[in-house]
Each structure stands twice: as structure tokens, then as C-alpha cells.
Amino acid sequence: MKKLIVALVAIVALSASAMAQGKGGEFSLGLRLGDAWFTSFDNSYGSDWGFNIELSGVYNLSSSNRIEAELGWADYSWSAYGVHHANGYLHLAGSYQWYWNIIKGLGWYVGPSANLGVWIYDAHYSGYHSSDAAFCLGVGGQIGIQYDFDFPLQLSLDTRPSINFGIPGDITGSAYFWPTWFNFSVRYRF
């Protein structure tokens, strides 16, 4: 687990370093916050709402093409009636986007996405304790709207649903749907 976390952090750091080599205004870095939901297709793990937080970077390849990468945590923890579930998804996500201007400073984007991460499960109730972790891969898409101010601040609102697949033999061996609805990003443009 520790090796995976270190590897994910290293990948994001190297990606951010490579992206920062561009000219001024071509790279932005900030936070992406919002809600997240998951459900397994066979309902073996039910469904749950959670909170998603990500370190987010966007690199403009041109005026109409760009790459977005995030390192984040989706938290699905809850406690009620003596039951405590600490569930979450540590993930690295990326998307290729086509970008179109609507008016000066305002535009929209759409494109394919993928994510790689670790699903973490921990439950406590009535003296019972269960925990596990699983590697997951996911594919999906992203669509959103973005506003660039005249000063170096960028705001965006988007969604990035995906279908994730647990690696066979792990707790999430079945496929599940993982959308991050209504995420709000605040980034500084370099």
C-alpha cells in the first residue's frame, strides 16, 4: 500500500514538473472538490455517496487541446447505529480534452478519461472488524465549463463519470460505476 501511494505521488510530481516546462499561461494547478458516488453493477457492495478532493493540474497543448491530471481521495466513510465504515478510493486520474471558447474567458471542454487507484474498505460493528484493499482501473469521460479571469485564476465546474474494474481476486473484483458529479475546481495559472 505504501509503495503504491509513493508511486502515485511520484507520477503526479513528475507529470506536474513536465507540464510546468511550458510557456506562461499554459499550465494551471489547484484543487478540485465535490461529491462522488459509487455502485457495483451486481449490487454486491451496494452504493454510497461521498466527498472527493483532488490536486488538479491542466496543461494546454494548444488553444483547443489539453491534458488534465489529478491525484485525489474519494471518501465514503460513515457511522450510524454502532456501525462504522471507513471506505475510500485513492486515485490518479487523467483526461484528454477538447476545449472550445464560448465568449472571452468562458469555455467548455469534453474528452475521455482514465483512472488508477486503490479502493480501501474498513468496517467495525458489534465486535466485528473487516478490512481490505484492492487495485482498480477505470475508463470514462469528462465534460465541464471553465472561466479564466484576466488575472491568473481559473474556475471550472465538471463531471467525470467512469466504469471501474477491480483487479480479479480483490474485494472489488466486479465492475462498478464511479461518477464524480458537480466538482468545482479552483486553479492558479502559471
pLDDT, tens digit, for every residue of 156-168? 999 999 988 876 5
The helix/strand/coil state of 151 is coil
Domain range for 108: 2-189
Regarding predicted confidence, which is higher, 20 or 145? 145
pLDDT at residue 14, as a whole number: 47
Q: Which of 167, 178, 174, 77 is closest to 122 using CA atoms? A: 77
pTM: 0.76
Q: Per-residue pLDDT tens for 45-100?
A: 556 778 899 999 999 999 899 999 999 998 877 776 777 777 788 999 999 999 99
- Count of Cβ atoms closer than 10 Å to residue 62 Cβ: 8
* Count of structural domains, the chain: 1
Q: What is the CATH number of the domain that holds 10?
A: 2.40.160.20
